[in-house]
Amino acid sequence: MTTSSNSGTPETTTHFGYKTVKESEKEKLVAEVFHSVAAKYDLMNDLMSFGVHRVWKKYTVELSGVRRGHSVLDIAGGSGDLTYAFSKRVGDQGRVVLADINDSMLKVGRDKLADRGVSGNLEVVQANAEHLPFADNEFDVITMAFGLRNVTHKEQALAEFYRVLKPGGRLLVLEFSKPKFEFLSKAYDLYSFTALPVMGKLVTNDSESYRYLAESIRKHPDQETLKGMMQTAGFRQTTYHNLTGGIVALHRGTKA
């Protein structure tokens, strides 16, 4: 989609939730959302998912195949839940990079991991998923939990993940998706567009960020579309697992 600037030059637009915005503005708008919610991010995750997000993340860790000595990138790692689990798995000889584009979220994650005693095998890097500051063939595993829907150019991010993975390395994308059943979809819509903004207002004094959350989920590609995007990026053995009736899906692919 394009619009014309004052100079008459077409400017590409994209979606920010249900709004149409200039591509050049989206990154800033998403950043403002996460600056706003960072301090209460973990609390809101527990409240919004009734704690089930911990089960989704545990399942992701189990399917990752991460073992001692591995190098792992947790992109859009936020407050560091997956990073913490991987740090224990890779051991002293391994490496885990907690990366996020948002410095407020990185601070929360870094402080949380320090409080839990994670240090020796941890790196914290501010990074944009579309332009990763890492070498080719650097990581055994890359995970991205609840971050891909906020990326403007998802195809570019997937290409970057493929580039920095080692041959045979695995990508796991945990993200909200499309419920499999009509009754569940309707109930989920009702909850998302009524309860979430109210909850956000009460806990963080910010209802609009959680309205964006609900809208961004609806704009995210469905399970089959995302699987196809991963295959286009070069990933093989690409599969997905629906969790909680498809409210969340875990996509997994391997670099050839």
Q: Is 128 assigned to a binding site?
A: yes
Q: Is 129 assigned to a binding site?
A: yes
Query: What is the secondary structure of 236-253 as a DSSP string?
Result: EEEEEEEEGGGTEEEEEE
Which single residue is written with the structure tokens 């045979």? 168
Q: What's the full length of the chain, in residues?
A: 256
Query: What is the secondary structure of 144-192 as a DSSP string?
Result: EES-GGG-S-HHHHHHHHHHHEEEEEEEEEEEE---SSHHHHHHHHHII
Strand-strand pairing, 95-100 and 71-75: parallel
Q: Is 100 assigned to a binding site?
A: yes
3-state secondary structure of 13: strand
CB 106 within 8 A of CB 100: yes
For residue 243, with 0-12 CB atoms within 10 Å meaning exposed, 13-18 middle and 19 or more buried, which class applies? middle
CA-nearest of 163, 2, 14, 146 to 82 is 146
What is the rounded CA–CA span in Å between residue 127 and residue 227?
24
Q: Which residues are annotated binding-site positions for S-adenosyl-L-methionine?
A: 79, 100, 128-129
Q: Which residues are annotated binding-site positions?
A: 79, 100, 128-129
